[in-house]
Amino acid sequence: MADVKQVKRPLSPHLQIYRPQLTSITSILARITGNALIVSVVLAVWWLLAAAVGPDYFATANAVVTSWFGDLVFAASAWAVWYHYLAGLRHLYFDAGKGLEIKTAEMLGMVMIGGSVVLTLITIILVQ
C-alpha cells in the first residue's frame, strides 16, 4: 500500500469571510418558503380527508385546523405564498436580463419582503 502524505490545506473560508447579502438571503428564503408550504398543504389535505372519513375524525382535524396552531400555520402560509409569488416575478425579471445591478437587485429584495408582508396583512384582513 502506498504511503499517503497528508497535506495541510486551509479550511474553506466561507464561514470566516463571507457576509450574507440580501440577494442571497431572499433567494434561500424563496426555496425555504416553497418547501414550507408543504406543511399547510398536508394540514389542509388532512382536514379534507377527515371530512370524508367521518364526523368524529373530522371533529379532531377541525379542532387542530381552527386552533391557534392552525391559524399560525395558515397565516404563515399566506405570507409564504405571497413571498414565493413575488420571488417568482423577480426571477422572471432577472431572466429577462433586467434588474441585475446590485442596487436594483437589493431594492427588489426589499420590495419582495415588504410586499409579501403587506399582501399577507391584506389577505388576512379580507379573510376575516
Model pTM score: 0.81
Question: Residue 5 falls within a domain, yes or no?
Answer: no
Closest C-alpha among 71, 85, 83 to residue 40: 71
Question: Residue 117 falls within a domain, yes or no?
Answer: yes
pLDDT tens-digit series, residues 49-85: 999 999 999 999 999 999 999 999 999 999 999 999 9
Domain span at 58: 21-127
Q: Does position 6 have pLDDT exceeding 80, yes or no?
A: no
Type of residue numbered 69: F
What proportion of the chain, given as a percentage, has pLDDT over 70? 91
What is the C-alpha to C-alpha distance for residues 21 and 12, in angstroms, rounded to an integer? Answer: 19
CATH of the domain at 97: 1.20.1300.10
